[in-house]
């Protein structure tokens, strides 16, 4: 009897360990999918979705998702950008009160005080999911470049499939020469670099029309090809454009949003 009881006492922990081990294996296998985490800094729930790239956690903390930029919702009664509400609804539907895991960026907060993070639900990268379904534009801001290549591939999947924002006329590539300085907001712009200039901290690409692209010199090392060599070449720029001193300007900090369309 003692031996049988002893065997029973030893068997219970073993079965528990086996169950936990199988569960851990399943979790690791699921998280081995593309755009998986390097680590988990926090596990919590999302209690509110502000828009397609910003949420509130159970702690009350606001979190801005890294690697993407969703269309802006309307403010103060003004109209929002195309697909803004659809992006918000998609993120709400995906999370639905589920437990999420976060990996915070190297730079943990933006200029608005929001935490910057990569999110995963129990199955996948939330950041990559939004990009792969065309609910947001790519956005890479050093030093938060973890998963940048994976997010770029997710974006290309949506672009090739003409999903979400990529199916809308509002976000189809537009020639820089046809733009006006007041044409602000998210745009995909094509144009020829007619001039390259430098200031103390930035490189400036002047495109046809009242359009300029600013590249901080501190970010030049992230480009395989020096942007200063783009003189005379056609480029595609994905970004948020703003009016400044009679020009339409966008800041690019990584090649994910600046592509050369032709050779030398």
| Alpha-carbon gap, residue 55 to 63, rounded angstroms | 5
Cβ-contact 79, 71 below 8 angstroms: no
The CB density around residue 255, as the number of other CB atoms within 10 Å, is: 18
Q: Residue 118: how many CB atoms within 10 A of its CB?
A: 26
Distance, in Å, from the CA atom of 130 to the CA atom of 122, rounded to the nearest integer, reads: 15
Helix (H, G, I), strand (E, B) or coil at 130: helix
Angle at 186 between CA 88 and CA 198, to 5 degrees: 140
pLDDT digit string (tens) for 138-192?
Answer: 999 999 999 999 999 999 999 999 999 999 999 999 999 999 988 999 999 999 9
Q: What pTM did the predictor assign?
A: 0.85
Answer yes or no: are the C-beta atoms of 56 and 110 closer than 8 Å: no
Question: pLDDT (tens digit, 9 = 90+) per residue, 85-124?
Answer: 999 999 999 998 889 999 999 999 999 999 999 999 999 9
Q: What is the DSSP letter of 141?
A: B
């Amino acid at each position: 009897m003692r031996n049988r009881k002893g065997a029973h006492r030893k068997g219970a922990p073993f079965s528990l360990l086996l169950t936990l081990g199988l569960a851990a294996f399943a979790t690791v296998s699921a998280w081995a999918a593309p755009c998986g985490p390097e680590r988990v800094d926090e596990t919590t729930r999302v209690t509110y979705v502000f828009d397609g790239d910003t949420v509130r956690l159970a702690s009350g903390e606001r979190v801005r998702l890294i690697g993407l930029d969703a269309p802006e919702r309307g403010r103060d009664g003004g109209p929002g950008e195309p697909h803004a509400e659809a992006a918000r609804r998609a993120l709400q539907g995906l999370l639905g009160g589920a437990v999420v895991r976060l990996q915070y960026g190297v730079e943990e907060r933006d200029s608005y005080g929001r935490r910057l993070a990569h999110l995963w639900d129990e199955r996948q990268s939330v950041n990559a999911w939004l990009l792969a379904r065309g609910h947001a534009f790519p956005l890479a801001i050093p030093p938060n470049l973890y998963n940048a290549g994976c997010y770029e591939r997710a974006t290309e999947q949506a672009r090739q499939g003409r999903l979400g924002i990529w199916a809308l006329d509002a976000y189809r590539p537009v020639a820089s020469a046809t733009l006006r300085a007041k044409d602000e907001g998210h745009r995909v712009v094509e144009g020829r670099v007619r001039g390259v200039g430098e200031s103390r901290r930035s490189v400036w690409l002047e495109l046809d029309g009242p359009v300029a692209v600013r590249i901080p010199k501190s970010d030049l090392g992230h480009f395989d090809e020096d942007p200063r060599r783009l003189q005379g070449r056609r480029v595609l720029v994905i970004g948020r454009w703003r009016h400044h001193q009679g020009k339409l300007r966008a800041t690019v900090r990584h090649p994910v949003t600046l592509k050369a369309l032709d050779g030398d």
